[in-house]
A and B are shown apart, each in its own frame.
Chain A
Amino acid sequence: MNILLILAIFWPALAGLAIFLTPSLKENKKLRGQTVSVALGIELLLTIIMCFGKGTQMVLLNMTPTLRIEMNVDVIGCIFSVLMSAMWLLSSVFAREYMGHDDNERLYQVFYMCVLSALIGQCYAGSMVTLYVFYELMTLLSVPMVVHERTPQAVAAGIKYLVYSIFGAMLGLLGIFFFSNYLGTVTFVPGGVETAASAPSGLLLITFLVIIGFGTKAGMFPMHGWLPTAHPVAPAPASAVLSGVITKAGVLAVLRVIYYLVGADVLRGTWVQKGFMTLTLITVFMGSMLAYRETLLKKRLAYSTVSQVSYVLFGLACMVPAAFEGAILHVVAHSVIKDALFLCAGAIIHQTGKIYVRDLRGIGKEMPITTWCWTIASLGLIGIPPTGGFVSKWQLATGSLETGLAGFDVVGPIILIVSALLTAAYLLPVTINGFFPGSDYDYSTLTNKEGSKLMTVPMILLAAGVVLTGIFAQPLINVIMTAAASIL
């Protein structure tokens, strides 16, 4: 199993480098694209296999006597890893068409693969240090994806992304220093290391800082500034994984800190939990508002990410089983949905070159499949049954009622619902104007601009996923239950 674990972690990176260096793949774009997809397919397989190897533990590398890179496969890790590799695969397929005429595509692929490695590593991380290590690597490796377009604003956005993330990571590092001081260890233990009911006030403060730090990646309120700048400038497949998956890396980190290091029991009811919840709620609302006011298509999606990821964080902040399940479910749902939306947006931009929402009248006529996918995805994000979004949000709402924190149990659900309405308000117009351009729409110029299969298939799959996660949510919920039971 250890071999498989190592393989699961490093396979994408190795494959990426191999692809980059193999001379025969230098020229042949098509072949290269296929190889990448295949490689990612294998990776998906590997991660699925790993699900049967739960509890595998190993030390990857000793950096210093006190600094060990140790791995530990558990439920949460498996869920995240499978999700991530799946998303990766689909976006890579999409990318083959989208990046078709890009001459730096080769370089892009390498980093694309390496980032996945870092992510998988983070999923299987067995200790805070390990997590931090892969987190940091992932940040750096994903920068080239952001600046890929090579435009000045792309570079500027890249630097902004870098600085925000590094700052967040530094807060995380600070946390590690103090955790190893307060808790004596930074190895993950389900339910948290600190079992004593009363935690030193320093520990609470540090925990809060760490949450904010890793919240950066998840675009949580005080540190969300980079996200709307960075995601849109990246090429569509990149932005799809950036906001669909990479934001979840932040979520994962927060999750690990709260439930596997400090312990929910320690934090429950403290100012940390309240503050954290407040921040998430602010973010949820603010994100939706900004998305609503935004006219650039991709940027609007970026803002929506800001708000949606904070749903997840809110779920984590509640620290009750139901909310926890909701959170994990929403991780899955949101990844799928946001991937779908970004791919759609990418397809639209790639085929029509329209980047403003207002220009999208009649898009449904030009690109029916894309628009349908978009519609389904948006419904999912709003939370209409029977999509995954509905299940997750339902769980979140119920969970938030159970927290028993005066005020939050009322405010929480309300804000969630309000933001859901806003979500409808900023996503559906595309569909509506797209299918019903109105009487003055000139049908004569109408041509089918639908993209090739490479573009449509992933979208369709994702759209299907949106629905399926809703219908067959139960098995997933059961899995999550076990995890939740172990840590709450």
Chain B
Amino acid sequence: MLSLAVFLPIVCGLAMFACRGMTHRARQVLTEGVTLVTSLLVLFCLMNKRGVAYTPLYLLPKLPISFCIDGVGSVFAAIVAFLWPLATLYGFEYMEHEGGENHFFALYTMTYGVTLGIATAANVLTLYLFYEFLTLCTLPLVMHGTSKASVRAGYTYMMYSFFGAALAFVGVMLIIGFGDGGAFVMGGVMSEAAAEHPLMVQIGYLCAFLGFGVKAAVFPFHVWLPEASVAPTPVTALLHAVAVVKSGVFAIIRVTYFSFGAQVMRGTTAQAIALLLASATIVYGSTMAVKEHHFKRRLAYSTVSNLSYILLAACLMTQSGLTAALAHMLFHALIKITLFFCAGAVMVKTERTQIEDLRGLAKVMPFTCATYTIGAISLMGTPLLPGFVSKWLIGSAAIETGTTLGMIGVAALLISAVLTAIYLMGPAMSMYFRPLEGMEPTAKCDPGMRMKLPFAVLAAAIVLCGLFSDPIITLLAKLSAGVM
């Protein structure tokens, strides 16, 4: 069942390459259909098949490729399964002006499967495998425009990703070698290895952290993310705000808690380095976002910093840290995809890409601007909205550890919160309180239904998550305690 959920989109995507001569309608129906079916499958597995492992094939004797939905995986799987159909729906209307839909949607669908593969990987090898596939599937999507800029972006993306892959490979190999086979077990498999050769294990952890950290846009390796915002918005929104980057984060969570083990790594130099990098990235990303004037690039930088919120929480290596990380993973996914959708809608409907051009847009695209504002205020951590909840969790988790690094993390968190307010509210305010330029105030250019629907759903989801966060958080806490 689970393997089906993973492979169905991949197979269908490949099939779509084959049949080029499809009509718009047929393709859209097919794509949406496949996506929905997969999401339902995932839902089913979440309901019924928790903790059951499937092993479709062995790479080598003793090296299986196997899937299993466990607590943490189910969070990521749920996020993806919820967002993908929406993004696809949005993509239909968006891509009409980009063209090349056939292979676009083919790859888009395949990526879904691959991401699910990451979410449900049951051992580190499987994780790595789908991680690499993710790079390959998304590379063409980034270069979709085939303009010089997009090719350059694609090249950067490719080089960074493979740099990451190379580093991660080292980490993965060490995990498999020392932690026989590297199956994911809460609490890790490296304890005795760590006792024997601690240095190796720490190096391995750093390699894994940095390697997967490339997709999670950790400071020195974040460059590709803003570059990649030349891609069509469905890609930037779903992949570079959710699927790809979250995969990186998720992979780090996996190796931290399920391969190396929080117990083992806590208090080591490796953890210190990880935490420092995360904190640095948080501040750096926000600062760059403030300086940036291209709408999508600004959002991309904000992603950079927000991803490090998650990493910071995850690298605290405590249960509450993990809870916080999962919470922010979920909330940031919802919020950021919304923001990107708005940016995309603005781009398609008005060809405006710079922050300055957003002035007074609220008059002509009230719906979009409203959605954007909701997203913005919730990301900057307004109480009663999700951003605040996760920030609260991260902060208290960090303080709870009582270490200096925790304090530094909190400081970074709060500084970046202020910056977040600046770089998100600036546009929002100019949307509402500045006169509209170069456009008829009467001209209504809110997008069509297929874009509005995702907006509405997401905005509603954000608000609900904020108001009724208690059950969600309790659930996450249970999951991060290792309960299925």
Contact = CB atoms under 8 A, between A and B. Distances in A.
A–B contact, 8 Å CB criterion (strictly below)? yes
B393 A136 contact: no
A163 to B, nearest CB: 6
A63 B434 contact: no
B469 interface: yes
B410 A177 contact: yes
B470 A64 contact: yes
A167 interface: yes
B417 interface: yes
Contacts of B414: 170-171, 173-174
B418 A63 contact: no
Contacts of A150: 433-435
Interface in A257-286: none
Interface string A43-86: 00000000000000000011111110000000000000000000
A178 B434 contact: no
Interface in B109-126: none
Given A147-B429, A167-B418, A170-B414, A133 B383 contact: yes
Contact of B473 (A64, A136, A158): A64
B477 A65 contact: yes
Interface stretch (B155-163, B190-198, B395-403): B395-403
Give the size range of B's interface with the partner.
35 or more
A154 interface: yes
B382 A140 contact: yes
A181 B418 contact: no
A357 interface: no
A329 B30 CA distance: 71
Interface in A152-188: 152, 154-155, 158-159, 162-163, 166-167, 170-171, 173-174, 177-178, 180-181
B236 to A, nearest CB: 26
A177 B393 CA distance: 10
A61 B433 contact: no
B421 A62 contact: no
B135 interface: no
B392 A64 contact: yes
Contacts of B432: 144
Contacts of A181: 396, 399-400, 402
Contacts of B399: 177-178, 180-181
A308 to B, nearest CB: 28
A196 B76 CA distance: 46
B63 interface: no
A144 B410 CA distance: 30
A173 B389 contact: no
Contacts of B239: none
B396 A137 contact: no
Nearest to A167: B418
Given A159-B426, A173-B414, A166 B380 contact: yes
Interface string A120-141: 0000000000001110110010
A143 interface: yes
B463 interface: no
Contacts of B430: 155
B176 interface: no
A147 B430 CA distance: 10
Interface string B421-433: 1100110011011
A63 B422 CA distance: 25
A65 B430 CA distance: 37
A315 to B, nearest CB: 29
Contact of B470 (A63, A134, A137, A158): A63
Contacts of B382: 136-137, 140
Interface of A: 61-67, 132-134, 136-137, 140, 143-144, 147, 150, 152, 154-155, 158-159, 162-163, 166-167, 170-171, 173-174, 177-178, 180-181
Given A63-B473, A64-B392, A170-B415, 17 more contacts: A63-B392, A64-B389, A66-B396, A133-B384, A134-B383, A136-B382, A140-B377, A155-B430, A158-B429, A162-B429, A166-B380, A173-B395, A173-B414, A177-B395, A177-B398, A177-B410, A180-B399
Interface of B: 377, 380, 382-384, 388-389, 391-393, 395-396, 398-400, 402, 410-411, 414-415, 417-418, 421-422, 425-426, 429-430, 432-435, 467, 469-470, 473-474, 477
24 contacts: A62-B470, A63-B389, A63-B473, A64-B393, A64-B469, A65-B470, A67-B389, A132-B383, A133-B384, A136-B383, A137-B384, A143-B425, A152-B434, A158-B429, A162-B421, A162-B425, A162-B429, A166-B417, A166-B418, A170-B414, A173-B391, A173-B392, A177-B398, A181-B402
